[in-house]
Structure 1
Amino acid sequence: MAPSHATTHTIHLLEQATGIVMPVYFRPDTDPAFARSLLQETVALFVREVANPAHICLSVDGPGPAGETAHAVAAELGLQVVQAPQNGGKLAALRRGMQHLLQNPDLRYLAAVDQDGDHFGNELLNFVRCAEHVAQVQQTDRVLVLGNRLSRHRPLGFLRGEQEELANRMLVDALTYHAARCGRPLVWQFAAVDAPLPDFHSGYKLFSRTTAEAVFTAPPNLAGCSETAYYRHACEAVMIVESLQTGAILATVNRRTFDEQPTSVFATMDRSQLAADMIIWPCKRLEVPGPFVAQWLANHLPTLLLGTLAPQGQAELLAIQERVLAAFGQPMPAGDAIRRPRFI
């Protein structure tokens, strides 16, 4: 087998054996010219990376203007399109697109990328190189490569950056708890070597074929949560958890991002419930008892810089805490402030 660092080998895999799924959704009030321009520019970054444009699948999430836009761009560039009859959320669109591309037996890797231009096609080669390295070193066909953003706060803004920081820390706790209970240590030697923890909620991911089959063709496990929580709010956590549950080895590569995203559907969501669901689903799926969830929240909330933005920051964190604790039948601590040390 070619060494994992061999440039020609990796380029061949990227060009000939890598599929790309891009969920497509635009709000009904989105300017059609803007939508088409954004999608064209984003797709153009990836068309140049693969030998066959049909290895790229635009997965339209429901009816509406996104379908017309996607079909027009696909016809122009030779891409594939699948479209859901109803809007189901990002994860539903990814499942549909992945299942479609998995019909091609020649694809060894499948990437999930966003439509907003924040995922750069020229960096996909590093994802494939990383995946090949892990596969060879560990002798496995189960790999998930996660694109670590160099900053979360800059592209997301301070509030969402802090929300994701909290969700990431809680996910580490939940995964560690579950690993200890199951007697299977987490294999993280390829993940976040130069960062405190992986950027779990980054949307730029590369799955080995075996991992993609396990994650995107298995029946969905809502773990007692709502479809909104599973398919929309916690979709990135779902892909992480289900990959690891099937034995995938997590690896990370650093990636670039814009200082400001051109568009985001998250701006229209209930931000407190969004952040809460990013915590609730993985903790439910990994069968974490309520008292543990409550204490982990109590541990992490005082450490977040968002709490120093008075009074709005603390109110945001308390709203998340209230929703998470309610989902696990745990009472809110008395008082209207985060419990923290008196001095630092």
Structure 2
Amino acid sequence: MMQSEYLRAVDDLRESSGVVIPAFFPSATDIQLASDLLTDTALGCCSLLGSPARVCISVDGENPAADAARRLQTKYGLAVVVSARNKGKLGALHEGLTILVRDESLRYFLLVDQDGDHFPNELPNFVRAARHVASSAKHDRVLVLGRRSSRHHPMGYLRGELEELADRMLVDCLQYRAVREGVPLNLQFALLLDEFPDFHSGYKLLTRPLVTSFLENGVSLEGLSEDAVYRHAVEAVLTVEAVLSGGIIVSVARSTFNEQPITAFGQLNRCRLVADKIIWPARRLRVPAAFIGQWFENHLARLRLATLAPGGKEELIEIRNLVRQAFDLPELAREIEGPPFL
């Protein structure tokens, strides 16, 4: 039975929910545009929550986003925390959650990116989904993922393909851990129209037990650099730690613009970024190297990015090399092998 009554969800959003908005404006960003988008997102969230103090803008080190956040704090009463140093999105989320979890009345913690592409009007649906699963599964540890109808349209073809690769690999890793531990991976609330969840969406909800576990347990770097984990593997970390803490994964549809208003993706080393999204969860979940190597080949063969010659194929091969190096696997020929016929 559906347990997602709208008015009760709105009450829970108003009385029992908090929002963390991680904020960072790179030097190459249009600061005015970034500030406008952050303001729109933050005030939109405030309009739905009972108190602006339950909306926390967590600024990742001193940068122009701090000035924008402090103006909003002064004028509207939002919570603001500025990290001592620029550590990465995961660090900003950690700081923001640390602030909000002190309010013991909060049961739902929503993570909303600053870019204007995560619409506050959809916050009630995340709470409705969490309420439904908590009631249906009799379980208070719930992770809700904001599922985009398309990765390719808002983010571009290249990034859409790369996120699909990372998502598919993460499913494989979680399934391996489930079999090894004898605990079936519950995806009944996460897969309705898709083959794999939208793990790398920046719009999420965690229930209080998952947040307290995340804050208490900390994050293991698994032999990787801090940048790899706190900047690159952020969404994988949140997902894996939630599952390891007994969380059930839920998907709820979320809207996006047809093209993201602003993004820092083009300023990053794409191959390193995607490789780290794959390497960290594989190490955290103790997946053997041979499995990682074969799963990677399984997914490369189906990605259409390889047909975008020559750049798409070369980018996938570079990611493959980085992943294989991390697991001491020998380098393969610079080819992608798959079935001979369609």
Q: Same fold (TM over 0.5)?
A: yes
The CA distance in 2 between the partners of 1:29 and 1:319, in whole Å, is 26
The CA distance in 1 between the partners of 2:222 and 2:197, in whole Å, is 23
Residue 99 (structure 2) aligns with: 100
| Mapping 1:160-199, distance limit 5 Å | 160-199=159-198
Q: Specify the code of the residue in structure 1 equivalent to 2:65.
A: A
* 1:242 and 2:255 correspond: no
| CA apart distance, 1:302 | 1.0
| CA apart distance, 1:109 | 0.3
| Mapping 1:132-211, distance limit 5 Å | 132-211=131-210
Residue 339 (structure 1) aligns with: 337
| CA apart distance, 1:267 | 1.8
Instruction: Check 1:252–1:217 CA distance in 2 against 1; reply closer, same or farther (3 A cut).
Output: same
Q: Which runs of 5+ in 1 are unaligned?
A: none
| CA apart distance, 1:75 | 1.7
Is contact 2:6–2:124 with CA below 8 Å preserved after alignment? no
Residue 314 (structure 1) aligns with: 313
| Mapping 1:177-326, distance limit 5 Å | 177-326=176-325
Q: Specify the code of the residue in structure 2 equivalent to 1:262.
A: P
Q: Specify the code of the residue in structure 2 equivalent to 1:63.
A: E
Tell me the SS of whatever aligns to 1:168.
helix
The CA distance in 2 between the partners of 1:341 and 1:130, in whole Å, is 40
The CA distance in 2 between the partners of 1:94 and 1:174, in whole Å, is 24
Residue 110 (structure 1) aligns with: 109
Structure 1 residues 7-16 or 274-283, which shifts more? 7-16
Tell me the SS of whatever aligns to 2:331.
coil
Is contact 2:20–2:96 with CA below 8 Å preserved after alignment? yes
| CA apart distance, 1:29 | 4.1
Q: Specify the code of the residue in structure 2 equivalent to 1:134.
A: V
Residue 85 (structure 1) aligns with: 84
Tell me the SS of whatever aligns to 2:217.
coil
The CA distance in 1 between the partners of 2:261 and 2:7, in whole Å, is 34
The CA distance in 2 between the partners of 1:31 and 1:223, in whole Å, is 35
| CA apart distance, 1:108 | 0.8
Is contact 2:214–2:241 with CA below 8 Å preserved after alignment? yes
The CA distance in 2 between the partners of 1:205 and 1:141, in whole Å, is 16
Q: Specify the code of the residue in structure 2 equivalent to 1:252.
A: S
| CA apart distance, 1:78 | 1.4
The CA distance in 2 between the partners of 1:77 and 1:32, in whole Å, is 21
Q: Specify the code of the residue in structure 2 equivalent to 1:270.
A: N
The CA distance in 2 between the partners of 1:21 and 1:288, in whole Å, is 32
The CA distance in 2 between the partners of 1:309 and 1:33, in whole Å, is 35
Is contact 1:302–1:338 with CA below 8 Å preserved after alignment? yes
| CA apart distance, 1:76 | 1.8
Q: Specify the code of the residue in structure 1 equivalent to 2:302.
A: T
Kindly provide the CA deviation profile for residues 43-86 of structure 1, in whole angstroms up to 9, marking residues without a partner as x. 12211111211110000000121111110122222100001111
The CA distance in 1 between the partners of 2:124 and 2:65, in whole Å, is 28
Tell me the SS of whatever aligns to 1:26.
coil
Structure 1 residues 319-328 or 217-226, which shifts more? 217-226
Is contact 1:99–1:216 with CA below 8 Å preserved after alignment? yes
The CA distance in 2 between the partners of 1:158 and 1:203, in whole Å, is 18
The CA distance in 2 between the partners of 1:38 and 1:10, in whole Å, is 26
The CA distance in 1 between the partners of 2:101 and 2:216, in whole Å, is 9
Is contact 2:34–2:115 with CA below 8 Å preserved after alignment? no
The CA distance in 2 between the partners of 1:92 and 1:66, in whole Å, is 15
Kindly provide the CA deviation profile for residues 286-338 of structure 1, in whole angstroms up to 9, marking residues without a partner as x. 001111100111111010000011111110100000000000000122x3211
The CA distance in 1 between the partners of 2:192 and 2:213, in whole Å, is 26
Is contact 1:35–1:69 with CA below 8 Å preserved after alignment? no
Q: Specify the code of the residue in structure 2 equivalent to 1:185.
A: P
| CA apart distance, 1:183 | 0.4
Residue 63 (structure 1) aligns with: 62
Q: Which runs of 5+ in 2 are unaligned?
A: none
Is contact 1:36–1:73 with CA below 8 Å preserved after alignment? no
The CA distance in 2 between the partners of 1:86 and 1:131, in whole Å, is 33
Is contact 1:146–1:251 with CA below 8 Å preserved after alignment? yes
Kindly provide the CA deviation profile for residues 20-44 of structure 1, in whole angstroms up to 9, marking residues without a partner as x. 0000100134344323212111212
TM-score by length of structure 2 reads: 0.97
TM-score by length of structure 1 reads: 0.97
Is contact 1:39–1:73 with CA below 8 Å preserved after alignment? no
The CA distance in 2 between the partners of 1:301 and 1:175, in whole Å, is 19
Aligned length: 341
The CA distance in 2 between the partners of 1:93 and 1:314, in whole Å, is 34
Among all aligned residue pairs of Structure 1 and Structure 2, give the percentage whose two residues are the same amino acid: 47
| CA apart distance, 1:221 | 1.0
